Structure 1
Amino acid sequence: MARRRLLTGEERRRLFDIPHDETAIVGHYTLAAEDLELVGRRYRPANRLGLATQIALMRHPGFGLQPDVDVPDAVLHYLAAQLFVDVDAFADYGQRAQTRNDHADIAARHLGLHPFRRGDIPLALDLAARAAERTDRGEPIVRALMEGLKQERFILPSADTLERAGLAGRARARKAAAALIVESLGHAELARIDDLIVNNSDFGMTPLAWLRNFEEAPTTANINGLLERLRYVRGIGIDPAIGAKIPDFRFAQFMREGGVAPAFLLSDYSLNRRRATLIAAVIDLDARLADGAIQMFDRLVGSLFTRARRGRERRYQDSIRSVGELMRLFGATIAALGEAVEHGGNPLELIDEAVGWHRLVAAKSQVDALAELAGEDALVAATGRYATLRRFSPAFLDTFTFKASGSGSQLIKAIEVIRDTNARKARSLPEGVPLPFANRQWKRLITEGGQVDRRRYETAIMATLRDRLRAGDIWVEGTRNYRRFDTYLLSRRDADKVADSLPFQTDAAAYLEERARTLDWRLRRFAKQLKANRLAGVALERDRLKLQPMPAITPPEAEALDRRLDALLPRVRITELLVEVAERTGFLSAFRDLRSGKEHDNPHAILAAILADGSNLGLERMANASDGVSYAQLAWTHNWYLSPENYQAALGMIVAAHHDLPFTRHWGAGTSSSSDGQFFRSGRNRSAAADINAKYGSEPGLKIYSHLSDHFASFGSRIMSATAGEAPYVLDGLMLGAGALPLHEHYTDTGGATDHVFALCHLLGFRFVPRLRDIADRKLGSIAAPSTYKGIESLMGRTIKTAAIEADWDDIVRIVASIKEGAVAPSAILRKLAAYKRQNRLDFALAELGRIERTLFALDWLEQPDLRRACQAGLNKGEARHTLAAAIYTNRQGRFTDRSIENQEYRASGLNLLIAAISYWNTVYMDRAAQHLQSSGGTFDDALLAHLSPMGWVHISLTGDYLWQRANRLSPGEFRTLNDPMARLKLVA
């Protein structure tokens, strides 16, 4: 039976092999003066070089000179050069084994090292177990073990011993963590945990399967299902704080396993491991179900008001004919009154003669109805669906304990009033109920007639609760998405530590003084340039800016070159392409078993599962269309090897390899990026994230918001609602990409731009360059009085309120520090700030800061045609990505049919990885095609390559049978033969 391995072959080479590259050799094998003094005592050159090699290899990798390991020539040459001996002398070294052993002892004493013995194994296990608290990956565990043994002054034992110690240490860490969690529970709780994987006749399945199997589409039945499951989970009696007893990684690992492991597999686990995994699963389900229920409550309450508004709009549309008739009637009446005034006639007689008194009186009921419709508040119409609200609101309020800051205390009291009224089954509310509504109209409507209208009151309370939960000033402990606003950020002390490393002046007065000086200078310069008509394509006409449209930036010669190169690209199946990209980039190593951290023993199963996600084919149909991969293998692979973290790690490897390709220099410096949303229709039954956006038609759907570097590397994507604003998500992908790419400039269209994004991009070190559709109509901001800037007064808006920025400066710095450190996603903060019905102080301060940066950007845009062209080019690259995405994602009519957001995210991740892989492969072969074209006499201007895109797919067979067994791997350094465009004609001839 094969021995279990902790490390892959590549990992073993990285950890244990003697380095070959020059930088590592110089770093590890430069001899110190005391080394040279010791070695110099040896008489024979062979012994001097041999002892120096012993010393060098005891330092790194740490094993010393092993008899079965060849020392690279580069290392020997470097050591020999330092000793001024001939490298060939090493061939004469150690002909007597005793010499090698004596020199090993001398080198060990010189370095203060001692050998690793059997009695030292417990120490090695402790070191490995401590490392395994933070990871299950073999390489970091063994690396930490090696470093720990070196610190204890050991000569490292054999590689096999280190790997076995790493395996044993990881097993010990897992067992210790499981025991810590399980020992916290009593017999009753453990019995309920054990029951989770026992079939229950009430559910027709195991309780665990029932808890996991919930619908996310917003309906009253589904929210009640979520609340029922949440009550069941809380009834088990697990305190979420138990997770804090073990390291975060280890608890997260239990949660990941508990989220996907089926009951039959869990039953095969050891007792403590099974219980720990189920406990973590229960804690995770508690938070997920709570978040899901609140999110569904948000959408259901929002739909009451949306439908109310739509109903009112329909009634408006239905009344257009009546309005027209009434307007004509009143027009005739006014004309009759005007004639009476002008000629002194009897107004009543003239009205009766011209209009007909009876017609005027009969119109009164229509006028009253239209007046009522025009003044109708959405609350009144939403209350018309009160019965729908009552199907879930009592259970929702009873399930959660809401907490609030001072401003939300009245709302908490109002919720208690409703709970109490529900519990007493009373029909009316008590006297003196709280009215926590900022909207005065609502207060008037609720108390209309001198008595509180319960239906309107309860509807208004639910709507207010929804808004406050979104903003974070009402929160629910134990949730992930509805916590107190403050908890999303670093503590003030931690933020202060980060502040010094932020790319801006963190002293408010100094910062604002510099921006005021810059803004004033830029506005004055712009006014002079505009007056002198020195701005290309920009003019001021009748106090309005006029911008000439940008001409097409792709010359016809580039399009012709694109066709020539496309014709040369090899014809390839998507299976062959993925196998080749995996071989060249190594991205398959990112997909590891969630439990063991091992790589998959069948790479084709991983690739097929990715392709099933990204092409929207699905696992079953992929298995039917594939050779050598069964549905069972794909389902298992998808469950245990594909995760958001693994997808992101694999994508990062492809993107890094892509940016290293020399051909990408034609497309930019690798320092800019763009982002945009792409709409996809959902299934016939609306899914969790699907919404109807009239911009895309009448069918529900969702958007994938993606980020693309100027090298055409698609480094980020995420699912978002079709109706949500894109701006909050701009920085999410940008921060993700900035960790691996040197990004400095980012392009979006109008939908991705708000003043808040301008502010945060600048404070995080990015230049934000949106293509604003209405830039000529947006007012410029100034810190000095707008009248200061002569000639452009009509372009100026109100003065920027720097006092508001100064008042909340510390919180702004704290937000930026939190985003920079990855403590919170930028979209989470921006959505919270946007959720306030009335703009709060921090939101306003950040927007005012953004007005400074938006104004400076607008001046750049108007003064620099090159910036406008660069933005246009960046966004065109994103459009090419969208076109490729639509071509790949064609199965099931290109619809997102998955109902859960989690499965939709898998689809989006798979699609993005396929796009990145195709872009990488195309770039490799476009380079070869361009070289071939030039070498065969087809000259062209290299500048034309900047206009080409690696997002083509005509030469790739994306559909059909997926023949993984025939997707042969290329040898190292081997490439596919370029296509011969004339091959078909030659065959015919």
Structure 2
Amino acid sequence: MPRAKIGRVTPVPAQPFFHFRRITLNPAVNRGVIDIHSAFSQHLLQLTVTDAVFAVPAYGPQNDVTLKMPAFEWVHVQLHQQKGMISLSPPTICNSAIASGSGWDGLKTLVAMATRLTATMADDPLNHVLDGYHRFRRYAPRMLRLLDLRAAPVALPLLEAVTALRTGLNDAAMTSFLRPSSKWHRHLRAQRAGDARLWEIAVLFHLRDAFRSGDVWLTRSRRYGDLKHALVPAQSIAEGGRLAVPLRPEEWLADRQARLDMRLRELGRAARAGTIPGGSIENGVLHIEKLEAAAPTGAEDLVLDLYKQIPPTRITDLLLEVDAATGFTEAFTHLRTGAPCADRIGLMNVILAEGINLGLRKMADATNTHTFWELIRIGRWHVEGEAYDRALAMVVEAQAALPMARFWGMGTSASSDGQFFVATEQGEAMNLVNAKYGNTPGLKAYSHVSDQYAPFATQVIPATASEAPYILDGLLMNDAGRHIREQFTDTGGFTDHVFAACAILGYRFAPRIRDLPSKRLYAFNPSAAPAHLRALIGGKVNQAMIERNWPDILRIAATIAAGTVAPSQILRKLASYPRQNELATALREVGRVERTLFMIDWILDAELQRRAQIGLNKGEAHHALKRAISFHRRGEIRDRSAEGQHYRIAGMNLLAAIIIFWNTMKLGEVVANQKRDGKLLSPDLLAHVSPLGWEHINLTGEYRWPKP
């Protein structure tokens, strides 16, 4: 679609509209087609009301130059002004860079201009909004006529004003959508009679804010739709039986208030007595020391000794042996007939090609059994996302049943973390750059690893996305995740919304919070807390808000438990509201209570800290295994489609699970042989043996299979 230009309207880029083409992924799969009206409405809304309707014109009183800047450019002006003032303060490390660039005089001029612009706009930005009126007046009414808008009761006056605007019956007297203390009242009264321009701008400004808060929504839209419409009915909450909280908010509040008051008193006594494990509270400041490694003597030597007794093997033989034990290839059924793949060797070639990041064309050159087109046919008709999930569940379940796995855990705790992979710069997958990993675009594979080392869930997420919303996705993906009771994450996986959702669903959420001393506690009655803890308390729990929204909070949790909507989709929508949405705020209040209880447990329980550290270490070691097996193409994910990237990561995760199963089985055989020989090994030492080794597995070279 070429750039469009209607009159003096700002050109609209074509890229957002690429999503409207028909989606065709695999043959014989009944995939949906995007609703064209819904998609157009959603992207039109994103391009106008919520993103770029308004420019911020900045007129300095002493300026004869007019700068018309979008909002993001205005932020850059403020940053330049602040950074410039710092640079002009002698001496700084950037002296040589400035001198070799525009020079000190040029920098002083830019800083002075930025300072004047900052002062002008800080005075009252509403003085200048009329200068951007022409940008949207030509198309705003027509755009609004295309949008099927709905509103919560609090936003009905705004919806009436929007209706008047899109029908052309502009009435500047319709100001009931404004707050009584709003600055807009003063500016609207100053307008001359019959001039409704400022009123139109006020309506669109508040419409934008209402979309951000969720008080106004777009029908048939995922991003701007009404969250409550996606939730299960209230009457089905009691029938689900998956919630770990009472149905009445008074019962939950009474229980949590009693528990929180008791735990605050216990923390106060420990602080006074100086018995906080590895920490203290002094002058209202929390101090926590990092735990030291606690591996028993001889654990490392035992690991080396056990792996020396495992015979070297080729990856092809390993796959055949694991399939004979688990039957994971039966999960890859024909997309049309539903029959398992008859060509097991060909299917394992495809899985291996995905897992080691080789690709089917290179695999056809390296294998002795199949051509490229034969592998293409098998991959197209048998390999898809749900098949990978079924095969992974089969391998994980079989690994958990092995005797050796019991030394590492009972399968009731897990850790989750994201692993970054460099990806191609081109294609429809829209890979993003995360400065944390450099300036190369990429993606993250977010994986869940059980305490028995089994990677029971993985999914592709954007490199810049917060990891927190995706925690529950993995826990609810299969039976292995539903058995988990305690979930560990790093700092990136922690939000108050996740604390609330996990607690309501019966999971104990235990993140390792990097800046724990800076986090505040919350109490139902802060004045009743121990005096020396009050500096740690950041506020009072809003009980009334929790009570008002408790039915919808339970609907959110029941919807997540039922699997009708992905947990990440709900949590991302709640977290995306920049302005106060009462349901999102109420869920945050629940999360603050649960986070406070967890923080007190963490401070007082060194064993909890140690369990979290062990769980996270298992996840990080799992990343090392994936990095080792995906060595082809320099470990880069070069698939240009999101579907191809998903299959690549899923294949890599399945291959890692297969290796972990085989290692667990062989380590168990070695331990059993030593037991028969009269050499008993301590369970404490065996708990530190990992099934993540790969040096004894030949992953490279030609992939030879036995001839049928």
TM interval, short-chain normalised: 0.7 to 0.9
Instruction: Indicate whether 1:557 and 2:298 are aligned.
Output: yes
Separation in 1 of the partners of 2:91 and 2:165?
45
Query: 1:859 aligns to what SS in structure 2?
Result: helix
Matches within 5 A, 1:149-188: none
Change (3 A) 1:389 1:870: farther
Query: 2:532 aligns to what SS in structure 1?
Result: coil
Deviation at 1:735, TM superposition (A): 2.1
Task: Please tell me whether the aligned partners of residues 432 and 463 of structure 2 are also in contact (alpha carbons under 8 angstroms).
Answer: yes
Task: Please tell me whether the aligned partners of residues 408 and 474 of structure 1 are also in contact (alpha carbons under 8 angstroms).
Answer: no
Change (3 A) 1:914 1:749: same
> Which of 16, 23, 26 is equivalent to 1:260?
26
Task: Please tell me whether the aligned partners of residues 212 and 577 of structure 2 are also in contact (alpha carbons under 8 angstroms).
Answer: no
Q: Paired residue for 1:474? A: 217
Change (3 A) 1:412 1:506: closer
Q: Paired residue for 1:369? A: 114
> Which of 543, 565, 572 is equivalent to 1:831?
572
Task: Please tell me whether the aligned partners of residues 446 and 453 of structure 1 are also in contact (alpha carbons under 8 angstroms).
Answer: no
Change (3 A) 1:293 1:314: farther
Deviation at 1:566, TM superposition (A): 2.4
Task: Please tell me whether the aligned partners of residues 408 and 451 of structure 2 are also in contact (alpha carbons under 8 angstroms).
Answer: yes
Separation in 1 of the partners of 2:589 and 2:535?
20
User: Per-residue CA shift, 1:130-176, capped at 9, x if unaligned?
Assistant: xxxxxxxxxxxxxxxxxxxxxxxxxxxxxxxxxxxxxxxxxxxxxxx
Separation in 1 of the partners of 2:346 and 2:135?
47
Separation in 1 of the partners of 2:660 and 2:89?
58
> Which of 80, 103, 109 is equivalent to 1:315?
80
Change (3 A) 1:624 1:514: same
Unaligned runs of 5+ in 2: 2-11, 53-68, 93-104
Judge which range, 546-555 or 666-675, deviates more: 546-555
Q: Paired residue for 1:224? A: 17
Matches within 5 A, 1:420-439: 432=172
Q: Paired residue for 2:229? A: 487
Deviation at 1:651, TM superposition (A): 0.9
The residue type paired with residue 340 of structure 2 is E
The residue type paired with residue 557 of structure 1 is G
Q: Paired residue for 2:34? A: 286
User: Per-residue CA shift, 1:199-242, capped at 9, x if unaligned?
Assistant: xxx9xxxxxxxxxxxxxxxx933323445x4xxx7xxxxxxxxx
Task: Please tell me whether the aligned partners of residues 283 and 532 of structure 2 are also in contact (alpha carbons under 8 angstroms).
Answer: no
Separation in 1 of the partners of 2:136 and 2:293?
54
TM-score, normalised via structure 1 length: 0.59
Q: Paired residue for 2:555? A: 814
Separation in 1 of the partners of 2:317 and 2:36?
39
Separation in 2 of the partners of 1:681 and 1:374?
43
Q: Paired residue for 2:590? A: 849
User: Per-residue CA shift, 1:861-880, capped at 9, x if unaligned?
Assistant: 11111111000000000101
Query: 2:473 aligns to what SS in structure 1?
Result: helix
Q: Paired residue for 1:342? A: none
Instruction: Indicate whether 1:867 and 2:601 are aligned.
Output: no
Separation in 1 of the partners of 2:274 and 2:687?
32
Matches within 5 A, 1:331-410: 367=112, 369-373=114-118, 401-406=148-153
Change (3 A) 1:604 1:863: same
Matches within 5 A, 1:203-218: none
Change (3 A) 1:961 1:804: same
> Which of 63, 82, 89 is equivalent to 1:324?
89
Instruction: Indicate whether 1:901 and 2:642 are aligned.
Output: yes
Separation in 2 of the partners of 1:553 and 1:606?
44
> Which of 513, 522, 540 is equivalent to 2:254?
513
Q: Give the helix-richer structure, 1 or 2.
A: 1
Separation in 2 of the partners of 1:311 and 1:595?
55
Deviation at 1:259, TM superposition (A): 4.4
Separation in 2 of the partners of 1:447 and 1:690?
49
Separation in 2 of the partners of 1:483 and 1:574?
48
Q: Paired residue for 2:381? A: 640
The residue type paired with residue 402 of structure 2 is L
> Which of 724, 748, 752 is equivalent to 2:465?
724
Change (3 A) 1:775 1:535: same
Change (3 A) 1:548 1:936: same
Change (3 A) 1:608 1:307: farther
Task: Please tell me whether the aligned partners of residues 41 and 146 of structure 2 are also in contact (alpha carbons under 8 angstroms).
Answer: no
Deviation at 1:751, TM superposition (A): 1.3
User: Per-residue CA shift, 1:798-844, capped at 9, x if unaligned?
Assistant: 22122221121111122222222222222222122112222222222
Q: Paired residue for 1:534? A: 275
User: Per-residue CA shift, 1:428-474, capped at 9, x if unaligned?
Assistant: x97859998999789999999988889x969x959965982894841
Q: CA RMSD in A?
A: 4.4
Instruction: Indicate whether 1:610 and 2:351 are aligned.
Output: yes
> How many residues get paired?
660
Matches within 5 A, 1:876-891: 876-891=617-632
User: Per-residue CA shift, 1:394-448, capped at 9, x if unaligned?
Assistant: 9987876454445566776788799889xxxxxxx97859998999789999999
Task: Please tell me whether the aligned partners of residues 409 and 451 of structure 2 are also in contact (alpha carbons under 8 angstroms).
Answer: yes
Task: Please tell me whether the aligned partners of residues 526 and 537 of structure 2 are also in contact (alpha carbons under 8 angstroms).
Answer: no
Change (3 A) 1:711 1:802: same
> Which of 446, 471, 480 is equivalent to 1:705?
446
The residue type paired with residue 369 of structure 1 is A
Query: 2:539 aligns to what SS in structure 1?
Result: strand
The residue type paired with residue 732 of structure 1 is D
Separation in 1 of the partners of 2:162 and 2:361?
48
Query: 2:577 aligns to what SS in structure 1?
Result: coil
Query: 1:811 aligns to what SS in structure 2?
Result: helix
Separation in 1 of the partners of 2:185 and 2:631?
52
Separation in 1 of the partners of 2:133 and 2:316?
55
The residue type paired with residue 218 of structure 2 is W
Task: Please tell me whether the aligned partners of residues 250 and 547 of structure 2 are also in contact (alpha carbons under 8 angstroms).
Answer: yes
The residue type paired with residue 502 of structure 2 is C
Task: Please tell me whether the aligned partners of residues 683 and 898 of structure 1 are also in contact (alpha carbons under 8 angstroms).
Answer: yes
Change (3 A) 1:396 1:667: farther
> Which of 916, 926, 930 is equivalent to 2:657?
916
Matches within 5 A, 1:788-799: 788-799=529-540
Deviation at 1:614, TM superposition (A): 2.8
Query: 1:562 aligns to what SS in structure 2?
Result: helix
Query: 2:443 aligns to what SS in structure 1?
Result: strand
Deviation at 1:892, TM superposition (A): 2.8
Deviation at 1:481, TM superposition (A): 5.7
Unaligned runs of 5+ in 1: 1-201, 203-218, 234-254, 267-276, 328-359, 422-428, 969-989
Change (3 A) 1:583 1:366: closer
The residue type paired with residue 521 of structure 1 is M
Deviation at 1:604, TM superposition (A): 1.9
Task: Please tell me whether the aligned partners of residues 681 and 701 of structure 1 are also in contact (alpha carbons under 8 angstroms).
Answer: yes
Task: Please tell me whether the aligned partners of residues 264 and 529 of structure 2 are also in contact (alpha carbons under 8 angstroms).
Answer: no
Separation in 2 of the partners of 1:895 and 1:463?
45
Separation in 1 of the partners of 2:532 and 2:542?
23
User: Per-residue CA shift, 1:274-304, capped at 9, x if unaligned?
Assistant: xxx8xx65xx122499559947975997699
Q: Paired residue for 1:497? A: 239
Separation in 2 of the partners of 1:513 and 1:489?
27
Q: Paired residue for 1:950? A: 691
Task: Please tell me whether the aligned partners of residues 211 and 224 of structure 2 are also in contact (alpha carbons under 8 angstroms).
Answer: no
Deviation at 1:893, TM superposition (A): 2.9
The residue type paired with residue 475 of structure 1 is L
The residue type paired with residue 654 of structure 2 is L
Instruction: Indicate whether 1:596 and 2:313 are aligned.
Output: no
Deviation at 1:746, TM superposition (A): 0.8
Q: Paired residue for 2:55? A: none
Change (3 A) 1:411 1:610: farther
Change (3 A) 1:366 1:483: closer
Separation in 2 of the partners of 1:469 and 1:873?
40
